[in-house]
Amino acid sequence: MPRAILHADMNSFYASVEAMQNPALKGKAVAVCGSTEDRHGIVLAKSELAKKYGVKTGMVNWEARQRCPELIVVPPHYDLYLKYSKLFREICYRHTDLVEPFGMDECWLDITDSMYPYSSPLEVADVLRTATREELGLTISVGVSFNKVWAKLGSDLKKPDAVTCITPENYKETVWPLAASEMIYVGRSTEAKLSKYGIHTIGELAKAQPDFLRSILGVNGLALWRYANGTDASRVMHKEFESPVLSLGHGMTCTADLETEEAVYHVILQLCQDLGHRLRVHAMRAQGVRLSVRGNDLQTSQYQAKFSMATRSPKEIADKARTLFDARYCWSTPVRAVTVSAIYLCPELTPQQLDIFSDAEKSEKQDKLDSAVDELRQRFGKGIIRPASTLGDIKIPDDGRDLVRMPGLMFQ
């Protein structure tokens, strides 16, 4: 018996929540955008009507207005999006505990063993759609299939408020003619590589030699070959599953271009305050740091280095990141966005080998100080105590976008 997997995708989520909160926006061309004044003048989400005019996510505001002169631009309200994301998940939990999120507005459900009292996966999909529309005032599209890849693809094929079923009998005629980029994890770079070798559709990807795909895409090539042939067997994880923490990162697009090393360091230092807190929450230390820098030409550079001793000190992580930046960034363009990641994580109680340059006593005192600072920030807010150098305008937005998590991995 084939598995019964659903993928539910909330339609135009940000824009739909805004329209639900303000009925005057319903049926209009709406775009949720960061403010032009804060230099976050890009489209974060758009309504179905705005999409028909050619408005795309990531498009700058002025270009979106050129495509759609009647476009209504509204600012994001992340607290609302988090609220409705949680409410939507509660609806999903009524049908199964096997609910795996994929970002705020999407999730997989495995209802193979929990369809009762419903007669088919399609009926469950319709019940989900109805409950979401009637209880939350939002619509979803649902893909129904025998694996996660085709369920995800199905939810993308018909929008809004629709159900698409992809079965072992119809997937070749339904899916194989589609562009390879329609399938999960075939991004622009992968699409370009496949196109170079004459692979343009999912069907052509399925018929390619797996050894050849591995030679050009590595192990990801084999995974994509399995996906294209409908043999994905990855599980839908339990709702309480927490993925292993392999790295922790924190990044922001700045409210203005950064043009000096000092300005970049202030942003790095502020990001590392939260990064240090997250390391404590997960009871981990970092054995290395990775710094990602995006210029205002939208090109991203990455640098990384290891510590002599694992750490969770915000200042140690920030100072190492600054050393990387000062030594490696060529300043061909001002800096637009910065991300600092703690990598090569290890449990906080892992024994460490000291060397003649390490001062264990000093490190222990610093860790106690950092813990005290972290506790104060938790109790009284992040602004209660902070490095003096970050007291001015350090070009970091404070609209709550750091609370939002982007889609992660599809667990195997």
Residue type, 384: I
Find the Cα–Cα–Cα–Cα dihedral 374, 380, 384, 390, rounded to 10°: 60
User: How many separate helices (H) and strands (E) can be counted in the chain?
Assistant: 14, 12
Size of the chain in residues: 412
Cα separation of the two ends of the chain: 20
Place of tokens 């994509």: 224
Place of tokens 């994905």: 232
| 212 token code pair | 């050849």
Q: What is the DSSP string of 156-207?
A: HHS-SS-EEE--TTTHHHHHTTSBGGGSTT--HHHHHHHHHTT--BHHHHHH
Query: Is residue 259 within 8 Å of 331, Cβ to Cβ?
Result: no
| 87 token code pair | 């409410």
For 218, counting Cβ atoms within 10 Å of its Cβ (0-12 exposed, 13-18 middle, 19+ buried), the class is exposed
Place of tokens 């489209």: 43
Q: What's the rounded Cα separation, in Å, for the pair 122 and 288?
A: 48
Place of tokens 């190492």: 320
| 368 token code pair | 């106690």
| Integer Rg of the chain from CA | 24
Residues in Cβ contact with 105 at an 8 Å cutoff, skipping those fewer than 6 apart: 9, 10, 13, 81, 85, 88
Q: What's the rounded Cα separation, in Å, for the pair 241 and 279?
A: 19
Largest CA distance in the chain: 70
State the number of CA atoms in the 13 A half-sphere of 68 facing the CB. Answer: 24
Q: List residues with catalytic annotation.
A: 106
